[in-house]
Amino acid sequence: MVKSWYLLFWKFKGGPDWIVEQELAEKALKSWRNNMIKEHEQYQDELKDINQMEVMPAPAPAPPPLGPMIREICINSGAAFTRLRCHLTNDVCYNLGVHPVTPVIHICEDETRFSDLLKGIPDYLDQFVQEEYYKPMAASCGVVQENIFEFNEDSNQKYLHSFVDVFRCCSVQVPKYLYLKYLEEGLLDQSHTIGQPHDLKDLEFFFEK
């Protein structure tokens, strides 16, 4: 019976809930980070060995630490990103000032960026346990519906218009503090490569008090 129950849900990767199990979720995220760093170090060692070979082998796919951050979150890597899927992942990245395709290792190896992620996930999800969210959602339940499990277009529209920041949006109004963060990270500079140092000398006037 236990095995059958496991097989029923094995595709749905779960993990500690960021709202009701935040301490465990933080532990999972830190464990995920450590694993990414270790895997990256192993990859670097393998590259050194390959570079010493006389005949170069065919290039292998980039390991997860060099992959995009959005993929790790969407697949709930390490069971560290429970509750987050496509649109929430995009919105989390937007609010943290992280480009969705930022290499994972760029976040994991930087204390400040990882701390922002560790704090940013629960801060973002907190809106979904506030009265401003659940009251309008609850008020829509069962409105002109014989089947309470039927897709509720009223709730859907309220959600899309009030609680989706950037997912599938053509344009958004970016708060000043977030815009300045994008500038600081070089995300608005087409010549900038994510993960490389960004020269701020031409942007000093933006940061003047």
**166 neighbors 172 (Cβ within 8 angstroms):** yes
pLDDT digits (tens, 9 = 90+) for 133-189: 988 887 776 656 677 777 888 888 888 888 999 988 888 999 999 998 898 888 888
**92 neighbors 84 (Cβ within 8 angstroms):** yes
Going by C-alpha positions, the residue among 185, 171, 196, 193 that lies closest to residue 97 is 185
pLDDT digits (tens, 9 = 90+) for 25-81: 999 999 999 999 999 999 888 887 777 766 666 666 667 889 999 999 999 999 999
Domain layout of the chain by residue ranges: 13-188
**68 neighbors 74 (Cβ within 8 angstroms):** no
**Which residues in 181-204 are b (16+ Cβ under 10 Å) and which e?**
bbbebbbeeeeeebeeebeeeeee
Say which residues have a Cβ less than 8 Å from residue 154's Cβ, sequence separation at least 6: 140, 143
CB atoms within 10 A of CB 106: 18
CATH number of 13-188: 1.10.8
Q: Which residue has the tokens 């503090």?
A: 177
Name the pTM for this structure.
0.82
Give the span between the Cα atoms of 131 and 126, in whole angstroms.
Answer: 11
Give the span between the Cα atoms of 161 and 58, in whole angstroms.
Answer: 48
The token pair that represents 157 in the structure block: 């529209």
pLDDT digits (tens, 9 = 90+) for 163-178: 999 988 888 999 999 9
